[in-house]
Amino acid sequence: MADPRDIELVFAPQEEGGYHVYAPDLPGLHSEGDTFDEAMENAREALELYVEGLREVGRSLDAGVVRRRVSIPA
């Protein structure tokens, strides 16, 4: 990866407590944590491992995902 990129992480609160974390642009990247800080730390580690795995097999981070915001119908 030649230039730094930002990846969106989603932190979904769980009924039993803690957070499930996933990256919509990176299929298969999931993590969790009992607190927000723990979830963030675990997600950073998961992202590092994900990128490392892609590099090992010669794949690009570019998933081809296009995002657009639309208004919710009234």
Print the SS3 string covering the chain: CCCCCCCCCEEEECCCCCEEEECCCCCCCEEEECCHHHHHHHHHHHHHHHHHHHHHCCCCCCCCCCCCCCCCCC
| Domain annotation covers residue 56 | yes
pLDDT, tens only, 11-66: 999 999 999 999 988 889 999 999 999 999 999 999 999 999 988 988 877 766 66
CA distance linking residue 67 with residue 71, whole number of Å: 13
| Domain annotation covers residue 1 | no
Per-residue pLDDT at 71 exceeds 70: yes
- CB-based contacts of 38, cutoff 8 Å, min separation 6: 18
Q: So what's the pLDDT on residue 36?
A: 97
For the whole model, what pTM was predicted?
A: 0.75
**Residue 39's domain spans which residues?**
7-74
CATH number at residue 50: 3.30.160.250
